[in-house]
């Protein structure tokens, strides 16, 4: 009877130790595979940046992650191991909506799903500047213009006047030049004087003879 009691006591102790060891292993395994998902959307300069970090997953099972941006799948990994990391940049002038879904192969309780909304990283500002006139108003300038005589550039000269020859008879060399005066009267007076002188001479000669 004493031996049976000792055996039962030993068996009970072994079972207690085994239970403690199993609990410790379970706690260690839970700590080792903590399944830590993290997704952050932020602005870096003028870009929107989405960072997804999945750590401490069970690498012996099939894990799946799907990332969408504005309802469009931008990343999909259906078999990542213990860790998964991605950093993606997007246009910062518009808002974005991201969705991250993780399915852990070792239990639904380790699944992760989150929706992130990112605002604009760049705010467009419109500044009004004074309009600069390309033709600034200046006082009028008075310009005095002196009229100059017009100089003709034409080289034409008046045509020489040509007098057509008339059909007149050739002059007679024996004819005296016509002075335009009438010589008949002087000749008549001269004839009278000659006759008168001749008569006087004859009368004087007769008187001398007597």
Contacts of 102 (CB under 8 A, 6+ apart): 37, 54, 63, 64, 65, 111, 112, 113
How do residues 194-205 score in pLDDT, each as one tens digit?
A: 777 777 777 777
pLDDT digits (tens, 9 = 90+) for 148-196: 544 444 444 544 444 444 455 555 555 555 555 555 676 777 777 777 7
Measured in degrees and rounded to the nearest 5, phi and psi for residue 107 equal 150, 140
- Joined together, the tokens standing for residue 64 give 């799946």
Map residue 42 onto helix, strand or coil: strand
Q: Which residues have CB under 8 Å from 35's CB, separation 6+?
A: 56, 57, 58, 104, 110, 112
How confident is the model at residue 117, as a pLDDT? 95
Q: Give the domain ranges of the chain.
A: 33-118
- Structural contact between residues 88 and 74, judged by C-beta atoms closer than 8 angstroms: yes
Q: Which of the four CATH numbers 1.20.1090.10, 1.10.287.3510, 3.40.50.970, 2.60.40.10 does domain 33-118 have?
A: 2.60.40.10
Residue 180 is given by DSSP the state S
What share of the chain in percent tops pLDDT 90? 40
Reported as a single tens digit per residue, the pLDDT across 31-50 is: 445 899 999 999 999 999 99
Q: Note the pTM of the prediction, 2 decimals.
A: 0.46
pLDDT score, position 89: 95
């Amino acid at each position: 009877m004493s031996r049976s009691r000792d055996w039962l006591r030993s068996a009970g102790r072994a079972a207690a130790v085994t239970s403690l060891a199993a609990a410790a292993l379970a706690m260690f395994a839970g700590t080792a595979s903590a399944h830590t998902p993290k997704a952050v959307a932020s602005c870096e300069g003028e870009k929107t940046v989405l960072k997804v970090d999945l750590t401490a997953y069970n690498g012996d099972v099939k894990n799946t992650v799907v990332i969408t941006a504005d309802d469009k799948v931008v990343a999909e990994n259906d078999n990542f191991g213990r860790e998964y990391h991605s950093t993606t940049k997007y246009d910062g002038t518009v808002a974005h909506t991201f969705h991250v879904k993780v399915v852990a192969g070792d239990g639904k309780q380790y699944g992760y799903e989150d929706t992130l909304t990112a605002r604009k990283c760049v705010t467009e500002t419109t500044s009004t500047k004074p309009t600069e006139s390309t033709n600034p108003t200046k006082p009028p300038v008075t310009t005095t213009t002196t009229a100059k005589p017009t100089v003709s550039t034409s080289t034409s000269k008046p045509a020489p006047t040509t007098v057509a020859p008339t059909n007149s008879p050739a002059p007679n060399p024996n004819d005296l030049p016509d002075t335009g005066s009438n010589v008949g009267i002087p000749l008549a007076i001269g004839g009278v004087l000659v006759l008168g002188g001749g008569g006087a001479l004859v009368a004087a000669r007769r008187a001398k003879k007597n």
